[in-house]
Structure 1
Amino acid sequence: AYLRELDARRDTILGSIRDQGKLTEELEAKIAADATKAELEDIYLPYKPKRRTKAEIARERGLGPLAEAILADRAAVPAELALAYIGEEVADAKAALEGTRDILSEQFAENADLVGKLRTYMKERAFMRSRVVDGKQEAGAKFSDYFDHVERWANVPSHRALAMLRGRNEEVLSLD
């Protein structure tokens, strides 16, 4: 059943990219070689039709070159570079940097190789650690199992991760 679903998804993705006129032989071979749905989705993400994103709005405001400049020169101070982009569309340096963050976040999220490497890294090396926020022991008693908890990220069941995230959202736990 999984393989049938995988093949069906692969066909759908190929059809969508072909309809956009963006299918190359190299891309088609890469899609054909992928063995999991996650890998397929990682490759498809940049081609997936999407709503107007914050990154698109930032690009329309002229912040694309700022994102490129920040990536190109690691020694540069982003806040100083952002000053050159203040104008009608961008109120201040903070707004310029927020828009640039949106652009870079989208670029990184759509980079299939990077996402694959991060996924592998997280499975192999990452830990999820939670600690109680000082003074919140009584208020957050329902999260007491996670007051000082460490677990490999790959082994954390979804219900436990969600509980820890709820604890963070309620400002009872801090997550590292």
Structure 2
Amino acid sequence: MGWPSNWQDRISGADCPACAAGRFEESADPPLARFFAGEVSDAYLVLGTLQPGWAVVLWQGRHVVEPTDLTPQEAAAFNAETLIAARAMQAHYRPLKLNFQTLGNEAPHLHTSVTMRYSDTEDIAPGEDILPGRFVPADGRPPARDERADIDALRRLARAGGR
């Protein structure tokens, strides 16, 4: 597959979709709904996943690719806000385990994926490391669950600091 031809423009911020999008409530592609707006980041629930509880915490300051590009104060704020989002998800979904991934190989703008992991009968790959993309149904059909209720609950929990 290889790196995209515009990779240098994307990592420089000149062609960064996250920077261009700014702070938004919802998007269709990818399907996201914001449930937490912090000082330095926003947390978005990824909609239509195979199992509930995959979110992306997106850095909302200047264009940054790596956590190492943050000042110590920015890193502390980003990590604290990531934990608020994760605690809200943990309180709502009651998973067996949480996974945190900060990759950026496809979208080079600092973000952390937070995914809920479940028991053997509820998880798509119990006990295995999985990339977030495996949470998306191959046939494009969304699961049969009320994600609006999830978003409302996550917003309430995030406003309370995630608990």
Same fold? TM cut 0.5: no
Q: Which has the higher strand share?
A: 2
Give the TM-score normalised by the residue count of structure 1: 0.21
Normalised by the length of structure 2, the TM-score is 0.23
The structure richer in helix per residue is 1
Point out which structure has higher relative CO (alpha carbons under 8 A, 6+ apart): 2
